[in-house]
Amino acid sequence: MRGWRWLAPAVVVLLAVTAWPIGRAVSTSLTTHPVTSPDDQRFVGLDNYTDILSSRTWWLAVAATLLIVVVLVVLQVAIGFAFAAAMHRLVLVWPITQLLVLLPFGLLSIVSAVVWRDAVTTGFAADWFGLDDVGPLGALVATCVGEAWRGTGITAIILLAGMRRVSTSLMASAVADGATAWQRLRRVVLPAMGPALAVATAYRALDAFRILEGPIVADEPGATVRTAPFLVWDTTFSSFELGLGAAMSVVLLLLAALLAAVLVPVLRVRRLV
């Protein structure tokens, strides 16, 4: 109970800043609320949710979003692990290297998306690799690569914190016992880094799930590759259907909660005896 007394203020503040907007989104999602006809608002119950859940376009967008999440998380964890291993050996200059790898994360997502889109359409990547008319799919891939580049630094810092938990005496014992590099990685390093790996994976997965800036700048009229957050944005701010857009945002929030519920047990770290 003592812990709850310290946790209660944070829980109250969190509820205060989230309950109202979520409640408004839920109430709006039960209506038709076209911005162009404010007087035409009426209660429709669960009709918006029925339209969304039966929409092939919505589920294709969800599938595209999940594919992007998997690719981004794998890239960021793999490259971030390599960066963390390199920084772990740079004892004298590691504070500077941490600052350098975090610089991309300081950029706005929209800036990173625009830069990487232009790189493959009219910039250096198009010149180097002879790219010609990559189309909206190529531009979307480029913006996703840009998002991976932007988030790899923070992933590396999280993994570096976990890497510093590896006991030097345990590593020395493993070397003395004749363990190979792969055995040391699998049986010593990764178990010790378990909490950091779990945090990095869950954080980057949930962050990538709401990817919006890249699909916006990569979108072209008639494009077929769109993510779920982009559909929410397009429905709300292009079609001006606030009710349907609110319903989409609620469904997206529930999918994010489901993703978190799957990741927590999968990434659960068991203490080593």
Note the pTM of the prediction, 2 decimals.
Answer: 0.80
Tokens of 93: 């200059």
DSSP calls for 221-244: TT-----HHHHHHHHHHTS-BHHH
Please state, in angstroms and rounded to a whole number, the distance separating the CA atoms of residues 80 and 101: 10
From residue 185, how far is each of 121, 180, 181 by CA, in Å?
A: 41, 9, 6
State which fold the 56-266 domain adopts.
MetI-like fold (1.10.3720)
From residue 3, how far is each of 8, 11, 215 by CA, in Å?
A: 9, 12, 42
| pLDDT tens across the length of the chain (273 residues) | 566 777 788 888 888 888 888 888 888 888 887 777 767 778 888 889 999 999 988 998 899 899 889 999 999 999 999 888 888 777 655 667 777 777 888 777 878 888 877 777 777 777 777 777 777 677 778 888 888 888 888 998 899 888 888 877 877 887 887 778 788 877 888 888 888 888 889 888 988 888 887 777 776 655 556 789 988 988 888 888 888 999 999 999 999 989 888 887 777 655 443
